[in-house]
Amino acid sequence: MVRWAHSALALTVVAPEDGPPRLVHLGPGRGDDPGDNGPPGQPLVELRVAGQGGTWSGTRSVGTSAGQRLRYTGHREIANGAWSELHITSQDEFTGLSVDVVFSTVDGLPAVRTWTRVRAAGDQPVTLHAVSSFAATSFPSGVVTPDDLELYRGRNDWLGEGAWSAGPLRPARLPDLDLSLHDADPRGCVAAVSQGSWSTGASLPNGVLVDRVTHASLAWQVEHNGAWRWEVGESRAGVYLFATGPTDLDHQWQHVLEPGDEFVSVPVALAASDEGMPGAVAAMTTYRRSILRPHPARDTLPVVFNDYMNTLMGDPSTARLLPLIDAAAGVGAEYFCIDAGWYGDGDWWDAVGAWEPSDARFPGGLSEVIEHIRGAGMVPGLWLEPEVVGVRSPVAERLPDEAFFQRGGRRQIEHGRYHLDFRHPAAAAHLTSVVDRLVDEMGVGYFKLDYNINPGVGTEVKASAPGDGLLGHNRAFLAWLDDILDRHPGLVIENCASGAMRMDYAMLSRLHLQSTSDQRDPLRYAPIAAAAPMSILPEQAGNWAYPQPEMSAEQMVFTLVTGLAGRLYLTGHLNRMTAEQAALVRQAVTLHRDIRHQLATAVPVWPLGLPRWDDPWVALGLETAGDDTDSTYVAVWRRDSSERDISLELPHLKGRAVHTDVVFPANLPGWELTWDSQLGVLSATTDGPEPTARLIKLTATRL
């Protein structure tokens, strides 16, 4: 038995002589674990290899023959800077595969990152079809059944990101099948699976399980910018969780290991708590901050103005940009990003790839506009879509076929574009030269990196299967991002993929903010912004605020509160606004700049529960701690004017004297607030005739 613990996390692995090693405990703190009671549970590793399947057929990823044959051969602990690693090694004598499961954590952090390394230690090649990154029936409160558990999972869609739902596993998701009568495990499970090259184009790679009796909870996230799968299922030993990257069944992934070769699965993170869903999400939030690549922008959190959403919409020019630049600087923006269109005349969609400025759009050169941005005291930025080349682009002729995704020996075309394969040196070199030119020659300090096509399962070039080619490209693209940030240490990069279609921590551990949606309707954006911290850090949640001169004051406030609920990402025709309207925008920017350092330490709470798409009221709280006081910022949106009252539950402030203050807008009437200390409830009343929103600060003296 291997026990491994620090001040905030403990795990236990058992290694029987007649069975595979398995994780029997993973929970917060150093407390006693439940031990190894009950029937044999989930093996620590699941391996699916060619020529062999599972010990029990079904749609599940568990029960693999090779996984059952693994036997423990040793373990070791390694110090890796601030991180500590536990390696559990096992061997399958039949295939000759040697397996190393790595757990990595930091003292004081109730979370662990884990992955699996597989080596072909025999004298024959082995074809992998699936390798688990995490698999266990362990739970912070011990072995549990579906009767006690609630599952939180998220669906993602363009314009409708972060649609979270919660519900008991039993009966709707895992019905009681009377396993003891049948003396067998089920064949099904609850699964979330990515589709194609968008990691979050359909489902979210994270989730939470909560024991409704003990409030023990476990959150997880798959950290990969491509294909992944997680599943929750039942066995006679309890409820199991399985998570991994690409698989043969889901993503046409196979990988051939020649003797001596290694394969490493994608990382999965887990965070444990005894305080229900909010506790697990808070622990995961802290963990996400621990894996961020260091960068000055992590501390400064600059306010970015982008010319796209509901403003220039991909049609920039010198004449349109110059007054907008001055107006953005006037309200306090610190970065100005020229979005799509700067490189093409007319219809540019299928002609992108060279990334040269358009002379027609910028008669005096793009450098004139860049210098105007810099002269206004802001850092200039540009939109870029590095992984695509339009079919009409001259770059498509210059680069070899092997530099692009291919199926059946032909370049894959998706929506008028080819997809670059960053494993090929010519593809990576082309984009490196583009970035170097724009940074070194034009002084660009910010890139919005977009990704607007999903070419499918991958490429067959130099790969065991299309999914293997996609995984290779995904990892090569991450290496390219690392190289770019090494070459240009001050460069700030935004992650975007048709909004949030690639919102994962392979990308976000490196990049600095995430576009949370392309949604243009401010009423529909509210639940997207409110749900975003389930998946990403508040300070990375780039929520569009798009105030416009034709809006009423309440309409402007509504969209600005959306921006203030995360990382304010500003746009709008500011140059056409009245002085009063511009002052309201400036007030929001000033407030954001004043409180952004608190945003970088906040953990999310949901006073109304996780938002549903049609909820009349939506709310998100961001809880922060100071030296003497605790502050909670609550963004509240009322989308239905027929609903005038709402009660916001804030249990972490229950029993405390709290000062409430509407911090935005500062001087717009219409809302009444009442704090009930005994219940921990903030009541809000507003009876205006249109949708309305406020950012409220609740301050409690430290107990």
How far is residue 504's CA from residue 228's CA, in Å, rounded to a whole number? Answer: 11
How far is residue 621's CA from residue 285's CA, in Å, rounded to a whole number? Answer: 14
Can you give the pLDDT at residue 131?
Answer: 99
Q: Which of 353, 339, 341 is nearest to 381 (CA)?
A: 339
How far is residue 559's CA from residue 551's CA, in Å, rounded to a whole number? Answer: 10
**Bridge partner list, 152:** 166, 208
Domain 604-701, CATH: 2.60.40.1170
Question: What sign has the CA pseudo-torsion 165, 170, 175, 179?
Answer: positive
How far is residue 517's CA from residue 562's CA, in Å, rounded to a whole number? Answer: 12
Please say if the pLDDT value at position 585 is more than 90. Answer: yes
How far is residue 106's CA from residue 115's CA, in Å, rounded to a whole number? Answer: 16
Q: Which of 266, 241, 263 is nearest to 254 (CA)?
A: 263
- Residue 518 — φ and ψ, nearest 5°? -100, 10
Helix 318-331 to helix 366-375 angle, to the nearest 10 degrees? 10
Can you give the pLDDT at residue 34?
Answer: 52
Q: Which residue has the tokens 């568990």?
A: 62
User: What tens digit of pLDDT does each residue of 182-195 get?
Assistant: 888 888 899 999 99
- pTM, rounded to two decimals: 0.97
Helix, strand, coil shares of the chain, percent, nearest 5, are: 25, 35, 40
Instruction: Give the helix/strand (H/E) hosting 300.
Output: helix 297-300
Q: Is 561 helix (H, G, I), strand (E, B) or coil?
A: helix
Confidence of residue 53 (pLDDT cuts 50, 70, 90): confident
Asked if the domains at 300-515 and 604-701 fall in one CATH topology, the answer is: no
Structure-token pair, residue 383: 């939109």
Please say if the pLDDT value at position 628 is more than 80. Answer: no
Can you give the pLDDT at residue 35?
Answer: 55
**Bridge partner list, 692:** 638
How far is residue 71's CA from residue 92's CA, in Å, rounded to a whole number? Answer: 7
Domain 2-290, CATH: 2.70.98.60
User: What tens digit of pLDDT does each residue of 528-561 get?
Assistant: 999 999 999 999 999 999 999 999 999 999 999 9
Structure-token pair, residue 444: 């660009």
Please say if the pLDDT value at position 172 is more than 90. Answer: no
Can you give the pLDDT at residue 440?
Answer: 98
User: What tens digit of pLDDT does each residue of 61-70 get?
Assistant: 999 999 999 9
Q: Which of 100, 98, 97, 99 is nearest to 87 (CA)?
A: 100
Mean pLDDT for 79-83 is 95
Can you give the pLDDT at residue 32?
Answer: 54
User: What tens digit of pLDDT does each residue of 563-572 get?
Assistant: 999 999 999 9
Please say if the pLDDT value at position 375 is more than 80. Answer: yes
Q: Which of 638, 617, 622, 654 is nearest to 687 (CA)?
A: 638
Can you give the pLDDT at residue 39?
Answer: 54
Mean pLDDT for 411-435 is 99
Q: Which residue has the tokens 């006690």?
A: 148
Confidence of residue 142 (pLDDT cuts 50, 70, 90): confident
- Residue 670 — φ and ψ, nearest 5°? 115, -5
Please say if the pLDDT value at position 236 is more than 90. Answer: no
Q: Which of 96, 135, 95 is nearest to 115 (CA)?
A: 135
Q: Which of 286, 270, 288 is nearest to 219 (CA)?
A: 270
Structure-token pair, residue 89: 């090694």
Q: Which residue has the tokens 């549990």?
A: 144
How far is residue 57's CA from residue 655's CA, in Å, rounded to a whole number? Answer: 54
When the pLDDT of each residue in the chain is averaged and rounded to a whole number, the result is: 96
User: What tens digit of pLDDT does each residue of 464-489 get?
Assistant: 999 999 999 999 999 999 999 999 99
Can you give the pLDDT at residue 363?
Answer: 98
Please say if the pLDDT value at position 259 is more than 70. Answer: yes
Q: Where are the alpha helices (DSSP H) in 492-630?
A: 505-508, 522-531, 553-564, 579-599
User: What tens digit of pLDDT does each residue of 629-651 get?
Assistant: 899 999 999 999 888 999 999 99
Domain ranges of the chain: 2-290, 300-515, 604-701
Share of the chain above pLDDT 90, in %: 91
**Sheet containing 47-49: order of strands:** 47-49, 126-131, 255-257
Mean pLDDT for 591-599 is 97
- Region at 259 (left for phi over 0; alpha for psi -120 to 50; beta for the rest): beta
**Sheet containing 388-390: order of strands:** 388-390, 417-419, 413-414
Homologous superfamily in CATH for domain 300-515:
Aldolase class I (3.20.20.70)
What single letter denotes the amino acid at residue 599?
L
Query: 442 and 434 in contact (C-beta within 8 Å)?
Result: no
Helices (H) and strands (E) counted in the chain, each on its own, are 14, 41
DSSP string, 397-408: HHS-GGGB-EET
Can you give the pLDDT at residue 179?
Answer: 83
Q: How many other CB atoms sit within 10 Å of the CB of residue 426? A: 13
Q: Is 501 helix (H, G, I), strand (E, B) or coil?
A: coil
Structure-token pair, residue 655: 């029993």
Q: Is 266 helix (H, G, I), strand (E, B) or coil?
A: coil
Please say if the pLDDT value at position 655 is more than 90. Answer: yes
User: What tens digit of pLDDT does each residue of 328-352 get?
Assistant: 999 999 999 999 999 999 899 999 9
